Chains A and B, each alone.
Chain A
Amino acid sequence: MPSSSKPSAPPPFESWGRYPSYAATILPMHWQQDFAVTAAGLHDSALAVGMGRSYGDSCLLENGNLLVTTAMNRMLHFDPETGILTAEAGMTLAQILDFAVPRGFFLPVTPGTKYVTLGGAIANDIHGKNHHVAGTFGNHVLQFELIRSDGSSRLCSPTENPDWFAATIGGLGLTGFITWVQLRLKPIVSRKIDYEGIQFHGIDEFLELTKKYQHVEYTVSWVDCASRGKNFARGIFMLGEHSEVPDALTQSPEPKLIFPFDAPGFALNHATVSAFNTLYFHKQMKPHVKTVQDYEPFFYPLDIMLKWNRLYGKRGLLQFQYAIPWESAREGTIAILRAIADSGLASFLAVLKAFGDVPSPGLLSFPQPGITLALDFPIKEGITFPLFERLADMTRDFGGRLYPAKDAAMTASQFQTFYPQWERLARFRDPLLTSSFWERCTGDRPSL
């Protein structure tokens, strides 16, 4: 029943990693014009946030205003001839798929979850299993509108305001408020993916497979980060292409499973993770399998279970994702995987992939040609953070960098070494907008 009582103190807002979690005032944005109106009345800094699927604090703002965009999810135009879609920035990739798949179109680039917004996809210049051929999400954005807190508006594209376009793609939501986005979808004739899974033992076999299958559209590997000795860096190289056999283009069903409670801290330990990894490696009975599967389990295996981050309990998880350039990619990956295996702290959600050489359009985009590894660590007092810092230093020493969207722990000095261009982004930052990540890693504070 509607009533008009006063709003209570702001509740803490969690990102996907559930660490850290900060109190913030939630202000839902329902219309494209809401930002300018809201911004004019704010006295504290603000940050636009979509689904909050970033893992660390890049989508948080301690004691600030979080402008939640998910109600801004209107389709503005779609051309079925070209696949060009214009939509408000709060629309999720899941909503785009529900609309586009029955019309014979698919996302040009998709991350491992479809529960992210267009605005978030741009702010973090996300990547997917086709990075080696398609580049990042930003490579497929034709234009968008950016509103500043002073009310000014810019149309941004590779040719119009190209400096603002580049600063906003991968710009961590700091350059202004994105109201709508135009991108090009790609045609498909089936929901199905022609899938192959190939077991590998060690990084050299992984690199051979990467080279051999470099022209296949989607490639990604699961890697066992817990095993040492003869099973060190074993994994499954997975590849897929959209099936070219026409088939029913139906909408995906709604997910029904939801992780029901916060798992206790001891649920993830070396024994359970090792057991899982052994089972997962041998789940594929033969060294090489070929099959046809739906795109949902291929792209979004974890989306089937809503709130799966509860598996890590209340303390949450720390993501670690690096990109190390080819010069030292092999050596760096082996050294870091060894350090992780020796720590005994690894989780089973570890992903290894080669990035391609399509240049990212963003000033602060994370991907670069070389190898990327992503995995989760459960947060254990006195163990996880020191390990993380050591791994981040190793990444730096191998000439690599970490991914801000996944980060809750890199130091300011590490960040500034990874992204020396951060000072250029700082010049494009809207004076109203900042994030806990940005303040932690740059010390650059709003001048309100």
Chain B
Amino acid sequence: MTTSAKKILVLGATSGIAEATCRIWAAEGASLFLVARNQTKLEAVAADLKTRGAAYIDIAVADLDDTEQHPALLAHAINSLTGMDIAYLAHGILGDQTEAEREFATAEQILHTNFIAPVSMLTWLANYCVQRKAGTLAVISSVAGDRGRKSNYVYGSSKAGLSAFLGGLRNRVDREGVTVLTIKPGPTKTAMTAAMPGQSKMADVNSVAKTIAKAITAGKDTLYVPFQWQPIMFIIRNIPESIFKKLNL
């Protein structure tokens, strides 16, 4: 199965990883419906993907935090694409951990954007796919969701919730012919991580995107990208709590 004639809905299309993945699909001639908050950025991304060979491009400016809009947005996208084979959920925020420790409103915002909003969207998307007995839901979670660490546990717990939700959803819809892919990227060089230290050690966004596109085509369940995060997180998950709580991670 190639994605060449595929109809793909992309949420958070101006995120670095989403944009890089869309370039691969555009070069293959896919049809894309792109959703993001910022119109100027979204238009630049759409122009690029159109130029690179996308068969069809449509965009919608929306704040995905507004979950009440989700059913109408989804209907509009499916109507525009005349169907949908893949939904790629890439919207999310890093948030400010220190701020979130002081102010619950900040923590709540991170949880809402990274967990509540995707859960809402996935509910409607899953029902659409189950009804058609087909489709792939590819969702960007994070290695940070595998274990809470003091440096980013609010972000981490939002992604942990998302990963758990996706595991359950997969268990429900697999028998209905629907694929759910949980994507767990390690730190990747994008606009979201631009202010973080250790830029030179971060993964290249284009190779991360290539791996994601391949995993979607292959119908995988979970993906650690780059792959070395799988054994690293295996070790981190298995450190006894009595030791883990003393570490500076």
Contacts and interface: CB of A to CB of B under 8 A. Distances in A.
B97 A28 contact: no
B228 interface: no
Interface string B25-44: 00000000000000011001
Given A1-B186, A4-B97, A76-B51, A32 B191 contact: no
A382 interface: no
A30 B48 CA distance: 14
A71 B144 CA distance: 25
A4 B94 contact: yes
Contacts of B192: 2
Contacts of A2: 94, 142, 144, 152, 155, 187, 192-193, 196
Nearest to B155: A2
Contacts of B194: 28, 30
Given A4-B94, A33-B40, A75 B186 contact: no
Contacts of B40: 31-33
Contact of B48 (A7, A8, A76): A76
B48 A5 contact: no
A5 B151 contact: yes
B1 interface: no
A77 interface: yes
B149 interface: yes
B51 A78 contact: yes
Contact of B52 (A28, A30, A75): A75
B94 A74 contact: no
B2 interface: no
A164 B143 CA distance: 49
Contact of A75 (B47, B142, B193, B197): B47
Interface in A1-28: 1-8, 26, 28
A445 B181 CA distance: 54
Interface string B195-232: 11101000000000000000000000000000000000
Given A30-B194, A75-B52, A1 B144 contact: yes
A428 interface: no
Interface string B149-161: 1011001100000
Contacts of A28: 191, 194
A281 interface: no
Contacts of B199: 26
Contacts of B95: 4
B66 interface: no
Contacts of B155: 2
- Most A CB atoms within 10 A — which of B96, B142, B195? B195
Nearest to A88: B44
A32 B42 CA distance: 12
B51 A77 contact: yes
A7 B191 contact: no
Nearest to A79: B51
Interface in A22-47: 26, 28, 30-33
B197 A7 contact: yes
B64 interface: no
A75 B48 contact: yes
Contacts of B196: 2-5, 7
B123 to A, nearest CB: 26
A3 B152 contact: yes
Given A1-B142, A4-B151, A74 B44 contact: yes
B197 to A, nearest CB: 5
Nearest to A32: B44
A74 B152 contact: no
A3 B191 CA distance: 14
B121 interface: no
A1 B149 contact: yes
- Most B CB atoms within 10 A — which of A5, A6, A8, A75? A75
A75 B27 CA distance: 12
A165 to B, nearest CB: 23
A78 B52 CA distance: 9
A352 B199 CA distance: 39
A75 B51 CA distance: 6
A289 to B, nearest CB: 38
Nearest to A3: B151
Nearest to B44: A74
Contacts of A71: 16, 191
A255 to B, nearest CB: 14
A67 to B, nearest CB: 12
A369 to B, nearest CB: 37
Contact of B96 (A4, A75, A76): A4
A163 B195 CA distance: 37
Given A30-B191, A31-B40, A3 B48 contact: no
B110 to A, nearest CB: 11
Interface in A242-269: none
A300 interface: no
B44 A76 contact: yes
B42 to A, nearest CB: 11
- Most B CB atoms within 10 A — which of A1, A5, A6? A1
B45 interface: yes
B171 interface: no
A238 to B, nearest CB: 33
Contacts of A5: 151, 196-197
- Most B CB atoms within 10 A — which of A2, A30, A31, A75? A2
Interface of A: 1-8, 26, 28, 30-33, 71, 74-78, 88, 99
Given A1-B187, A8-B197, A32-B40, 12 more contacts: A2-B142, A2-B192, A2-B193, A3-B151, A3-B196, A4-B152, A5-B151, A31-B41, A33-B40, A75-B52, A77-B51, A78-B51
